Each structure stands twice: as structure tokens, then as C-alpha cells.
Copies of this chain bind each other. A is one copy, B any other.
């Protein structure tokens, strides 16, 4: 016998769940990362974040304080996650070259699965206020530091083997290569989107082929210089 008094507006959708703060907070951040990623910090609207998180706007402010605080919290969380993924993979990568490979592969894998995270960290318009600018700069620095560390180790590892004409590469070069690598990787996340058949590992192999071989050969003394004039 079917219940007659089944409430007509029985939306199983919004049971107004009562969740503990810590859980809700994470859900809010999840929603915020999605929206900030889709629209950018300024164009993002707190209402949309709240709606996507399935709560009302005041909860966002109760838990995160302000739109700026919300954004900063997103950046911190996503930055930590990305760095953790990178470092964890690298730590299991064996020799320096393997570590760099593993780290980059983890990076491409992570970004492929959490595109929003990367967009929030690296695709925001400049100068949105001091705290935001600082937080973004810190996040980007921490990514760059990881990569620079691995490149540096790779150089040190490959360096001693270099023969007579070997080029001496130092810290500045590691930084340079790291910048190039991170920038290339960033840009390649777009490429990946248009080539869904390419796995993160395949992309990593392609990138290593171009950049690592280049670097390795430079270390080995093969120097390119401007053709003539």
C-alpha cells in the first residue's frame, strides 16, 4: 500500500543535510575550486559556489570568512595536493632521471584528473589584491621549487659523466630549465585536452624526449649557437 501522504515536494535532492564543520568545509572548497577555475577569481560569484556546495551563502562566510579567504584556502589546499602528488611520485622514482620522469608523469596525471586545481593555481589574472597575489606566488614558487630540485639533481647526476667539452651547468641553469619545464607542462595541459588519447605517461615521454635529451646533450658538450649573423 503506497503511502498517500508522501510529501509532494519530496525532493530527495536537498535533504538539508546536517554535516560536521570539517566535512562541509571540504565540500565548500570543492565547489569553490570548480567555480574559481571556471570563471576566475573576480568573475566567480559566491552564490554560485554556495549553490554548488548545496548550502546557503552565509555558511560560506561562516566557515571561510570572505571570498578572499575562500580563495586563499583553495589555493593552499590545491597547492599542497599537487606538490604532494609530485613529491610522492618523485620519491619513488629511483635515480634522478627516474625521479624527474615520475614527478612529471604525476603532474600530468594529476592535472588531467584535477584540471580545476591547476587552473586555480596558474590561470588567474594578475594583481587581485595583496594577499591573493602573495598566496598565488607562494603556490607557484613551491611547484617551481620541486621541479628545480629534481632538475638540479639530474644535472648533478649527469654532470660528472660529461666528457671533455662538457658544459658546466649551475643553479641558475636548473632554474631556467625548471621554468621552461613548468611552462611547457602548463601549456601542454591544453594540448592534452585536445588529445585525450594521449596518456599522461605518453605526454611525459614526449616531453622528456625533447627537453631532457636536450639538456643531457648540452651537458655532454653539444652546444647550439646562433647560426651566423
List residues of A whose CB falls within 8 A of some B CB.
Answer: 37-43, 94-95, 97-98, 101, 119, 123-128, 172-173, 175-177, 179-188, 190-191, 195, 201, 205-215, 217-218, 222-228
Name the B residues within 8 Å of A94 (CB-CB).
227-228
Known: A179-B187, A190-B179, A205-B225. A215 touches B212 (CB 8 A): no
Q: A177 is contacted by which of B123, B186, B195, B210 (Cβ under 8 Å)?
A: B210
Known: A179-B184, A183-B188. A209 touches B213 (CB 8 A): no
Q: Which of A42, A176, A218 has the most CB of B within 10 A?
A: A176
Q: How far is the CA of A38 from the CA of B126 in the complex (A)?
A: 6
Cβ of A175 and Cβ of B187 under 8 Å apart? Answer: no
Besides A41-B125, A175-B191, 11 other CB < 8 A contacts?
A101-B227, A124-B125, A125-B125, A173-B206, A179-B191, A180-B184, A180-B188, A183-B186, A205-B225, A213-B217, A213-B218
In the assembled complex, how far is the CB of residue A126 from the closest CB belonging to chain B, in whole angstroms? 6
Name the B residues within 8 Å of A217 (CB-CB).
213-214, 217, 222
Q: How far is the CA of A180 from the CA of B191 in the complex (A)?
A: 9
In the assembled complex, how far is the CB of residue A120 from the closest CB belonging to chain B, in whole angstroms? 10
In the assembled complex, how far is the CB of residue A186 from the closest CB belonging to chain B, in whole angstroms? 5
Cβ of A98 and Cβ of B43 under 8 Å apart? Answer: no
Name the B residues within 8 Å of A127 (CB-CB).
38-40, 43
In the assembled complex, how far is the CB of residue A114 from the closest CB belonging to chain B, in whole angstroms? 15
Q: How far is the CA of A72 from the CA of B217 in the complex (A)?
A: 44
Q: How far is the CA of A227 from the CA of B94 in the complex (A)?
A: 9
Name the B residues within 8 Å of A201 (CB-CB).
226
**A-B pairs with lowest CB-CB distance, top 7:** A40-B125, A183-B187, A214-B214, A42-B42, A180-B184, A183-B183, A210-B214
Cβ of B39 and Cβ of A40 under 8 Å apart? Answer: no
Q: How far is the CA of A212 from the CA of B217 in the complex (A)?
A: 11
Q: How far is the CA of A99 from the CA of B54 in the complex (A)?
A: 55
